[in-house]
Structure 1
Amino acid sequence: MLGQSGFEVIAAANGTDGVTAVHEFDPVLVTVDLGLPDIDGYEVTRRLRRFTDAYVVMLTARSEEIDTLMGLDAGADDYLTKPFRPRELRARIEAMMRRPRGGQASGQDSAAPILSTRGSTPAPTPSANHGQVPATAPSATPATPAAGVPVVPAAAGGPTSGPVSVPGTDAGLDLDGLRLFPDLHHVETEGRAIPLTPTEFLLLETLMRSGRVVRSKAELSRIIRGDEPDHGSYVSAADERTVEVHLGNLRRKLGDAPKSPRWVQTVRGIGYRMAGSPQLVG
């Protein structure tokens, strides 16, 4: 289904080979099953987050809330329970692809996306519009990995020590030592780079652009899905819990204590806001 939507698909039968394939081909999107013959999908995702900011979608038959929370906590951007409809997976992927991944400026052209599929997940049953190409997908003619896919060193996106040099021509937002550069997909605190998943970055950027304005969990959930925050689409309790998990992971990476936050504040019963109004920096 994804191949017919214009993606070049690389498959791997187990977790170890999957991690190796992601390191070699640097895909923009990874789907991962939880039940794998060597290491489970949680461990695969944790290993991927050490060197890649690719979008990670877990596709699994495990539907318990704890499984979803563990998947998001491991670094997944989304969690989809089997059986699912092809149009639902395609819609979620389209929403993610509208957001720039790490290291890619907004509006910057990229090579043909590669989807890396883990495990023996059966292909979803095609729907009536199965052959449609998503608006965000490239031409169905794939680029060859050797020519079309940039290779990123394993350390890319990882934490570094000492000041980070960021070109002054790229505008960013600063709040008490926390800096976010949207076009560079770069976040740092006190000069130290903070590796965030695409979803964590999106949430932080939304809150920083909102400043002291409170964003509800429902609004943030719609933004993650690619909808307008006031779209009015249904947001379940599980969707709001997903936002809570992503914000918890974000705070942990920033070193921001929930009880005495320096940056991200919780407005009990409503949502989240920043502790101040960020300033523009060059």
Structure 2
Amino acid sequence: MRASRVLIVDDEATIRDIVRRYLTAEGFEVTEAADGDDALRQLERGCPDLVILDVMMPGIDGLEVLRRMRATSDVFVILLTAKAEELDKLVGLSIGADDYITKPFSPREVVARVRAVLRRQRDAPPSNHHETMSFAGLVIDSARREVRRDGEAVDLTALEFDLLVALATSPGRVYTRRQLLEQVWGWDYVGDDRVVDVHIRNLRRALGDDASAPSIVATVRGVGYKFVAAPA
């Protein structure tokens, strides 16, 4: 099995060097970019398995890099954010980041988070018994990783698709945020459980589901979420 490829994007050479050394020691193949332009050029030449992307960079900042990446790529992305920049975290998640790590950080935490995100490629939500799930106006094809709403294709990120499958596999079951994190992100995920809320919001937007009168994913106040679409 080939080593997973990680691209580190940060304008601070010291941070790139520390993260590279730890990841390389754990068997990852690592490349580096010192700014957003360099990162986008490298992504055009070949897609890594995961990108560690600093938000605060001169020139094209990390959020703009992420927006441009998401126009053509579904690569996993972990943002590096400053401790006080809460808005950056939420905006980053809303435009397609898979996770974020707050500076200052432990290099060992970075390695653990990288492993947890990449593990989702192998440990997708269980769908082998539900390759095609049909509901009123909604069809989920797990084998092809495709979703159609009222006959129209729905463009979802890999994480949004996995969330939808996790919920749809057990209609009516109430999942806590922690249960969804364990099932979709991985049992060893150690980040903020608010990432679930952001990705559920993105999923609803993509599906055209109204949070105030949901027909697909409902909020169970104080607990979590459940799948409520009627069977076909």
Mapped to 1, the partners of 2:142 and 2:198 lie a distance apart of 22
- The aligned residue for residue 40 of structure 2 is 19
Mapped to 1, the partners of 2:80 and 2:59 lie a distance apart of 17
- The aligned residue for residue 229 of structure 2 is 276
- Distance change (3 Å), C-alpha of 1:11 and 1:276: same
The reply on whether 1:239 has 2:187 as its aligned counterpart is no
C-alpha contact (below 8 Å) 1:212/1:275 kept by paired residues: yes
- Structure 1 residues 81-92: aligned runs within 5 Å: 81-92=102-113
Amino acid at match of 2:166: T
The reply on whether 1:189 has 2:149 as its aligned counterpart is yes
The reply on whether 1:200 has 2:153 as its aligned counterpart is no
- Structure 1 residues 62-77: aligned runs within 5 Å: 62-77=83-98
Unmatched 5+ residue regions in structure 2? 1-21, 125-129
- Distance change (3 Å), C-alpha of 1:184 and 1:7: farther
**Greater RCO structure (CA 8 Å; 6+ sep):** 1
Mapped to 1, the partners of 2:153 and 2:49 lie a distance apart of 21
Query: Once the 2 structures are TM-superposed, how far is the Cα of residue 220 of structure 1 from its aligned partner?
Result: 1.6
C-alpha contact (below 8 Å) 1:211/1:278 kept by paired residues: no
Mapped to 1, the partners of 2:181 and 2:81 lie a distance apart of 21
Deviations along 1:205-225, one digit per CA (max 9) or x if unpaired, are 110112111111222233344
C-alpha contact (below 8 Å) 1:53/1:196 kept by paired residues: no
C-alpha contact (below 8 Å) 1:212/1:277 kept by paired residues: no
Query: Once the 2 structures are TM-superposed, how far is the Cα of residue 246 of structure 1 from its aligned partner?
Result: 1.0
Larger helix percent: 2
- Distance change (3 Å), C-alpha of 1:191 and 1:9: farther
Mapped to 2, the partners of 1:86 and 1:184 lie a distance apart of 36
- Structure 1 residues 169-184: aligned runs within 5 Å: 171-184=131-144
Amino acid at match of 1:194: V
Deviations along 1:118-170, one digit per CA (max 9) or x if unpaired, are xxxxxxxxxxxxxxxxxxxxxxxxxxxxxxxxxxxxxxxxxxxxxxxxxxxx9
Q: Which of the numbers 51, 58, 73 marks the counterpart of 1:52?
A: 73
- Distance change (3 Å), C-alpha of 1:85 and 1:56: same
3-state SS in 2 of match to 1:39: coil
Mapped to 2, the partners of 1:77 and 1:27 lie a distance apart of 15
- Structure 1 residues 19-38: aligned runs within 5 Å: 19-38=40-59
Mapped to 1, the partners of 2:110 and 2:158 lie a distance apart of 17
Mapped to 1, the partners of 2:160 and 2:51 lie a distance apart of 17
Number of residue pairs aligned between Structure 1 and Structure 2: 206
Mapped to 2, the partners of 1:217 and 1:182 lie a distance apart of 22
- The share of aligned pairs that are identical, in percent, is 43
- Distance change (3 Å), C-alpha of 1:62 and 1:19: farther
Query: Once the 2 structures are TM-superposed, how far is the Cα of residue 277 of structure 1 from its aligned partner?
Result: 6.0
- The aligned residue for residue 201 of structure 2 is 248
- Structure 1 residues 207-246: aligned runs within 5 Å: 207-227=167-187, 239-246=192-199
3-state SS in 2 of match to 1:261: coil
Q: Which of the numbers 258, 262, 266 marks the counterpart of 2:211?
A: 258
C-alpha contact (below 8 Å) 1:72/1:245 kept by paired residues: yes
Unmatched 5+ residue regions in structure 1? 107-169
Mapped to 2, the partners of 1:19 and 1:278 lie a distance apart of 43
Query: Once the 2 structures are TM-superposed, how far is the Cα of residue 68 of structure 1 from its aligned partner?
Result: 1.5
Deviations along 1:99-119, one digit per CA (max 9) or x if unpaired, are 239xxx97xxxxxxxxxxxxx
3-state SS in 2 of match to 1:243: helix
Deviations along 1:223-245, one digit per CA (max 9) or x if unpaired, are 344118xxxx9x8xx82322111
Mapped to 1, the partners of 2:192 and 2:90 lie a distance apart of 11
Mapped to 2, the partners of 1:74 and 1:62 lie a distance apart of 20
